[in-house]
A and B are shown apart, each in its own frame.
Chain A
Amino acid sequence: MNEDENNTEDLLRTFILENYLFTDDQKKLNNSDSFLDTGILDSMGILEMIYYLDEEMSIKVAPDEMIPANLDSINNLIAFIDKKTN
């Protein structure tokens, strides 16, 4: 993982931890945890995350990209962002 990816990972983890799990305890979130299966995010939460990706990371999510394969875990998000930025 390069420095940019580390930075993205930190940003995403902090965002999910503080805004959906309401904690700063890093142990509460694994990068492979499915947001939907664990109940971390629902459809409303996904919307909020899409706004976040747009506003904070300039990543625009197209309607057909709103699928769990892109958005449903930290790992999926990192891979999706990587694909979008490269």
Chain B
Amino acid sequence: MCGIAGVVQSSNQVAKPITKTVLKKMADALRHRGPDDEGIYCKDNIGLAHRRLSIIDISNGHQPMHSSMGDISIVFNGEIFNYIELREELIKKGHIFLTHSDTEVIIHLYQEYGLDFVQLLNGQFAIGLWDDNNKKFILIRDRVGICPLYYTFEDNRLIFASEIKALKPALTNGLEVNKETLDQIFTFWAPVSPNTFFKNIYEVSPGQLIIFENNTLKKHVYWDWDFNKDNFSNNSEEQLAEELHDLLIDSTKIRLRADVPVGAYLSGGLDSSVLVAMIHHYGNVPLRTFSLNFSQLEFDEKSYQSKLIEHLNSEHSHLMVKTEDIAKNFMQTIFHTETPILRTAPVPMGLLSSLVHENKYKVVLTGEGADEVLGGYDIFKEAKVRHFWSVNPQSSFRPLLLKKLYPYLNLPDSNQATYLKKFFGESLDDPDNICFSHLPRWSTTAKAKQFYSSELNEELNGQAMNSMLHSLPEKLKNMHRFNRSQYIESKSLMGGYLLSSQGDRMLSKNSVEGRFPFLDHRVIEFSNRIPPKLKMKGLNEKYLLKEAMKQYLPKEIINRHKQPYRAPDLQAMTGEYLGEELRHHLSVDELTKNGLFDGKKVSFLLKKADSGRKLSIPDSQALIGILSTQVLIDQFI
């Protein structure tokens, strides 16, 4: 990952002219994303800044980069994995290259194809491109939101950066909390794109580009998840498994392209195991893996990791995360997430990337995205069971299937379905609701809102759900309900949390780049044509993936019950583990000062947490959500 930033103004008549000093400050704020090189460009109404993590063409990839005529300037964060093939095609068309970097390929692609070039990219990218001939500036973000890209528009200036902290030096005023976004996070775990936790600061949504021309911003969607039922494949199960197999080999192989060694995360679950097996069999590089272990056994997956390491003979490093490590690293984690979080899971991911960095690796492949693309999440199963249940809502037997889905959650072991019904029965009478799959999760998460201050409650008027519904496209109504769940999951939790708070931010804080073979757009587009019944056969998740890859993996990995990545939450953030500094942020005085939460209620929550009793998920999410919000305000506002 690199870091990009810049300021573009429509004329010289602005209150705050672009200066190299400001651009340098913006670049400095992104130093962790790119410690290897820095570049600043400032001319007329354009200011660009870049921090580089050198991975491809290490000696020649300095940025900002310009076309040979100087009419195109670019800052680019990410990787174009098919740059070699694109470069060859461009050379055939007469383009002359001065470097072997993928950045230069983007410049030539734009010269050759205009904005349509983005359709040719296979990769992860955030791009800022100035076209001096047409006096327009373009911001482009990859299809699914792997590389972050934020912007604001104030006083006729477009200010953009890979992280919000890098916008600050160029802003006329400071940052302010966007309370409506806070409410969205306390419902969906993540802001509804393009919102962020900060007022007037937006992300370029995944799959979008923004054109700044004649002092106006125009947004354009160039790619979206397409689950058209008419496009479902009629190929046999065996054919589809073979196609998926071949695609995954290629998507993995091109993600090993680098001029530095590439490693991989190994959790012990199916997805990372598939990935590591692909590297072992087809990568033609030494297999180097990194894992997290937890001192609390309920979160640890060491036995599965060991099986794979032995099976594939990987050179392996692991990091044992102790419960106390979570609170100790919480504040610096929040500094990087730049948004409130409801679970502590990002913290260990940040520690894992530090292990990668210490081992002098800059790039890791991870299995992220497989669950969204190929149908792995329990929430998809849950929705399937709830649909089955909704046909006969009075059934006591049908909801008990839900207990099988969550063995790790200790759901009530009751012969009566009443309590399960209360938890999962949300909208059971409305199975055609387009958000049916996600309503129980959102309703559980929203319990944290009981800690809002009365002032915040008055200010907000339950707009979070409307914002979500407004963000969802009409085409969702015509999708198969399984695909609807996939769409919502990919657009909300994956883009807004997994790839950002738990993904890019936790990697880039230690100057590590993540690559995601399951999120190759060819894999996604192929998978979108797989009939849902082959993604989840009965309640067997990622069925086709297992069929495609079972030849490479031990049966114990293929057949294991899916265990989502979790980290110690509440137990790590209470009692002796929660130090004075964090407790200070939860004090009645601090809560009252920020005005978002009810200090007295939160003190009862903290007392409950400190009691040491096993607590519920909503309480845990509330405490971590409130604490991270308080910390964020202290750090940024």
Q: Are A23 and B411 in contact (CB under 8 A)?
A: no
Q: A18-B608, A19-B604 are in contact. Are A67 and B416 (CB under 8 A)?
A: yes
Tell yes or no: B475 within 8 A of A by CB: no
Tell yes or no: A55 within 8 A of B by CB: yes
Bound Cα distance A2, B526 (Å): 70
Kindly specify which of B24-32, B50-58, B241-249, B419-427 makes contact with the partner chain.
B419-427
Bound Cα distance A45, B614 (Å): 10
Tell yes or no: A44 within 8 A of B by CB: yes
Q: Which residue of A lies closest to B601 (CB)?
A: A22
Q: Which residue of B lies closest to A63 (CB)?
A: B413
Tell yes or no: B303 within 8 A of A by CB: no
Tell yes or no: A66 within 8 A of B by CB: yes
Tell yes or no: B320 within 8 A of A by CB: no
Of the candidates A18, A51, A64, A68, the one whose C-beta lies within 8 Å of that of B614 is A51
Tell yes or no: B412 within 8 A of A by CB: yes
Cβ proximity bits B354-378 to A, threshold 8 Å, 1 near / 0 not: 0000000000000000000000000
Cβ proximity bits A25-42 to B, threshold 8 Å, 1 near / 0 not: 000000000001000001
Q: How many residues of B are counted as interface, with CB atoms below 8 angstroms from the partner's CB atoms?
A: 29
Q: Are A44 and B613 in contact (CB under 8 A)?
A: no
Q: Are A52 and B613 in contact (CB under 8 A)?
A: yes
What residues of B have a CB within 8 angstroms of the CB of A78 in the complex?
none
Tell yes or no: A11 within 8 A of B by CB: no
Of the candidates A22, A48, A51, the one whose C-beta lies within 8 Å of that of B604 is A22
Q: Are B613 and A47 in contact (CB under 8 A)?
A: no
Q: How large is the interface on A (under 10, 10 to 19, 20 to 34, 35 or more residues)?
A: 20 to 34
Q: Are A66 and B413 in contact (CB under 8 A)?
A: yes
Bound Cα distance A35, B38 (Å): 59
Cβ proximity bits A51-79 to B, threshold 8 Å, 1 near / 0 not: 11001000000011011100000000000
Q: A22-B604, A23-B601, A48-B615 are in contact. Are A42 and B451 (CB under 8 A)?
A: no
What residues of B have a CB within 8 angstroms of the CB of A68 in the complex?
416, 418
What residues of B have a CB within 8 angstroms of the CB of A64 in the complex?
414-415
Cβ proximity bits B452-476 to A, threshold 8 Å, 1 near / 0 not: 0000000000000000000000000
Q: Which residue of B lies closest to A35 (CB)?
A: B422
What residues of A have a CB within 8 angstroms of the CB of B412 in the complex?
43, 46-47, 66
Q: How many whole Å from A2's CB to the nearest CB in chain B?
A: 28
Tell yes or no: B578 within 8 A of A by CB: no
Q: How many whole Å from A48's CB to the nearest CB in chain B?
A: 6
Tell yes or no: B488 within 8 A of A by CB: no
Q: Are A42 and B415 in contact (CB under 8 A)?
A: no
Q: How many whole Å from A22's CB to the nearest CB in chain B?
A: 4
Bound Cα distance A47, B406 (Å): 15
Q: Are A43 and B411 in contact (CB under 8 A)?
A: yes
Of the candidates B411, B414, B617, the one whose C-beta lies within 8 Å of that of A67 is B414
What residues of A have a CB within 8 angstroms of the CB of B615 in the complex?
48
What residues of B have a CB within 8 angstroms of the CB of A48 in the complex?
613-616
Q: How many whole Å from A73's CB to the nearest CB in chain B?
A: 14
Q: List residues of B (311-370) whose CB comes within 8 Å of A's CBs.
A: none
Q: Are A19 and B420 in contact (CB under 8 A)?
A: no
Q: Are A43 and B419 in contact (CB under 8 A)?
A: yes
Bound Cα distance A50, B83 (Å): 59
Q: Are A43 and B423 in contact (CB under 8 A)?
A: yes
Identify which of A22, A42, A45, A47 gathers the most chain B CB atoms within 10 Å of its CB.
A22
Q: Are A36 and B418 in contact (CB under 8 A)?
A: yes
Q: Are B419 and A55 in contact (CB under 8 A)?
A: no
Q: How many whole Å from A69's CB to the nearest CB in chain B?
A: 9
Q: A22-B450, A45-B616, A48-B615 are in contact. Are A66 and B416 (CB under 8 A)?
A: yes
Q: List residues of B (400-438) whose CB comes within 8 Å of A's CBs.
A: 410-416, 418-420, 422-423
Q: List residues of B (577-633) whose CB comes within 8 Å of A's CBs.
A: 600-602, 604-605, 607-608, 613-618
Q: Are B451 and A22 in contact (CB under 8 A)?
A: yes
Of the candidates A23, A36, A44, A66, the one whose C-beta lies within 8 Å of that of B617 is A44
Q: List residues of B (4-56) whose CB comes within 8 Å of A's CBs.
A: none
Q: Are A22 and B605 in contact (CB under 8 A)?
A: yes
What residues of B have a CB within 8 angstroms of the CB of A52 in the complex?
613
Q: How many whole Å from A23's CB to the nearest CB in chain B?
A: 7
What residues of A have a CB within 8 angstroms of the CB of B420 in the complex?
43
Q: How many whole Å from B452's CB to the nearest CB in chain A?
A: 12
Q: Which residue of A lies closest to B622 (CB)?
A: A22
Bound Cα distance A65, B415 (Å): 9
What residues of B have a CB within 8 angstroms of the CB of A44 in the complex?
423, 616-618
Q: Are A19 and B418 in contact (CB under 8 A)?
A: no
Bound Cα distance A44, B418 (Å): 12
What residues of B have a CB within 8 angstroms of the CB of A66 in the complex?
412-416, 419
Bound Cα distance A42, B447 (Å): 10
What residues of B have a CB within 8 angstroms of the CB of A46 in the complex?
412, 419
Q: Which residue of A lies closest to B444 (CB)?
A: A42
Identify which of A47, A63, A64, A68 gathers the most chain B CB atoms within 10 Å of its CB.
A47
Q: Are A43 and B416 in contact (CB under 8 A)?
A: no
What residues of B have a CB within 8 angstroms of the CB of A63 in the complex?
413-415
What residues of B have a CB within 8 angstroms of the CB of A42 in the complex?
419, 422-423, 444, 447, 616, 618
Q: Are B422 and A19 in contact (CB under 8 A)?
A: no
Q: Which residue of A lies closest to B410 (CB)?
A: A47
Q: Are A18 and B422 in contact (CB under 8 A)?
A: no
Q: Which residue of B lies closest to A24 (CB)?
A: B604
What residues of A have a CB within 8 angstroms of the CB of B416 in the complex?
66-68
Q: Which residue of A lies closest to B608 (CB)?
A: A19
Cβ proximity bits B197-216 to A, threshold 8 Å, 1 near / 0 not: 00000000000000000000
Binding site for A on B (CB under 8 A): 410-416, 418-420, 422-423, 444, 447, 450-451, 600-602, 604-605, 607-608, 613-618
Cross-chain pairs A/B with CB under 8 angstroms, 30 sampled: A18-B604, A18-B608, A19-B608, A22-B601, A22-B608, A23-B601, A36-B419, A42-B419, A42-B422, A42-B444, A42-B447, A42-B616, A42-B618, A43-B419, A43-B420, A44-B423, A44-B617, A46-B412, A47-B412, A48-B616, A52-B613, A55-B613, A63-B415, A64-B414, A64-B415, A66-B412, A66-B416, A66-B419, A67-B414, A68-B416
Closest 9 CB pairs of A and B: A44-B616, A43-B419, A22-B604, A66-B414, A22-B601, A43-B423, A67-B416, A63-B413, A19-B608
| Additional pairs, 17, CB under 8 Å, beyond known A45-B616, A51-B614 | A18-B608, A22-B450, A22-B602, A24-B604, A36-B419, A42-B444, A42-B447, A43-B411, A44-B617, A47-B410, A47-B412, A47-B616, A48-B615, A64-B415, A66-B419, A67-B416, A68-B418
